[in-house]
Amino acid sequence: MEKLQRTEKIIAERYRILGKLGQGGVGITYAAVDLNSNQKVALKALSLRLTTEWKKIELFEREAKTLSGLNHPGIPRYIDYFQVDTSQDRCFYIAQQLAPGKSLAQLIENGWKPNEAQVRHIAYQLLEILAYLQSLLPPAIHRDIKPQNIILQKNGRVFLVDFGAVQNTYHHTVTGGSTVVGTYGYMAPEQFRGKAVLSTDLYGLGTTLLFLLTQKFPSDLPRQKQKVKFRARVSISTEFADWLEKIIEPAIEDRFHSAKDALSALRGEQPKGINPEKMFKRSPQSRITLIDAKWWLFIKIHPDRSPSKLKGFFQFIHLSYKVLLPFSLILGFLLILLFSLFEYTSTDWLFTLSDRFFLISILAITTFTLFYALMWLCRCLCRIAYRRFARKIQISPQHIQRVKLSGIHLPLLKISMTFCRIRAKSRNYCFGLFLPQAEKEWLVGELKDCLSKLK
């Protein structure tokens, strides 16, 4: 590889070396000129003699194979893959279109300080590139999203380069690959375990955007339980900060599932795959959280969402034993005193009054003690029912057999209500009784959509 560092050297009688662009974990990249087309290209080289790990050769060949099948304006065009044998060495080469511009790392090093609008524009373009990669069969995972691998032109156009760590989901699933590939600080936690999913690249994108906003490496930012705490160090809108926080969640199930989901959320669009006519938008106060983590569904319903009629009923039960009991005792005492005074002409009117007061007081206390016990029991039952239909649910989609809305009639309140029901192999889940009807229908529709995608 040392010989290639000399400028003006011609490789394979076609590519003239202009200079070194950079060096990564797999190979060295040079700027060169294609003598056939007189166009500048990026020539990535790997020396067999200087390579101590066979895994690098495998990654290099996988990169060439992946690049040959890509066709996106944000990815430099693949030109050729070849090898050159000499008496002392064998070198492998990948020729690509040279992306004009500078890397984000170079721009930050030169003093560039992008604002929120510029960072958003970069995020939009990178998410579109990642969405394209994830739409392939099988989906491709870059695994090394970082500022050094993102080229920005003067006109604002973005290129994603260096697919040396690329992996497709088929390869990972079949071979169970466990190689740790990536760059510390930009790697998702699962990469340290040799695992990569669609949202792995999203984590790298999120930490790259944080690098642009904070001018600091992600590893230098404060953390709490693996979560990067960045809000105090950036001056951006709350909406964008919330989006960034979600895209860099350490847990896979807490992140956006795919680049399409992240892009839709960044644009403020409704989730795709849902019929707009049947889409029930939730109010800003909605407490529903539904997470589709591929192998698990997580549903969380905050127990502070109930129709006004039921809410008033529960408040009455909650306050009645505190207010009605002392009020009724005072009223009973006044009534006893009033009725007893009708006998004041009797010689033993004092005894009669005290006797009646004692008996009626015992009766009143007994009555209202029973009333108190009844209210307490009713309140406990309401709490049990409330928690029964407002809770957290975690279930595997493979175990779900049916999702529907079921009805329940409350004769005392003279109302009928519906709740969400999931029929699984081992048990039934009933929830959402106190949600507004539109949110119940939206939630059931989302669950059915998740199941249809799985099938």
Which residue in this structure is represented by tokens 């009646």?
356
Peptide bond into 138 cis (omega under 30): yes
**Burial class of residue 143 (count of CB atoms within 10 Å of its CB; 0-12, 13-18, 19+):** buried
The answer to whether residue 144 is catalytic is yes
Number of H helices, E strands in the chain: 10, 19
Which residue type occupies 353?
L
**Burial class of residue 249 (count of CB atoms within 10 Å of its CB; 0-12, 13-18, 19+):** buried
Q: Angle 259-267/198-214 helices, nearest 10 degrees?
A: 40
Query: Where are any strands of DSSP class E within 104-204?
Result: 140-141, 150-152, 158-160, 167-168
Q: Is 272 helix (H, G, I), strand (E, B) or coil?
A: coil
CA atoms of 30 and 18, how far apart (whole Å) = 7
Q: Indicate which residue of 80, 85, 89, 144 is catalytic.
A: 144
Say which residues have a Cβ less than 8 Å from residue 257's Cβ, sequence separation at least 6.
Answer: 198, 199, 292, 293, 294
CA atoms of 438 and 288, how far apart (whole Å) = 12
Given a contact cutoff of 8 angstroms between Cβ atoms, the answer to whether 47 and 34 are in contact is: no
Q: Angle 259-267/238-247 helices, nearest 10 degrees?
A: 170
Structure tokens at 347: 């010689």
Q: Is 133 helix (H, G, I), strand (E, B) or coil?
A: helix
Tell me how long the chain is. Answer: 455
CA atoms of 141 and 252, how far apart (whole Å) = 15
The sign of the dihedral angle between the CA atoms of 342, 345, 350, 356 is: negative
* Among the listed residues 93, 103, 98, the one whose alpha carbon sits nearest the alpha carbon of residue 39: 98
The residues carrying an active-site annotation are 144
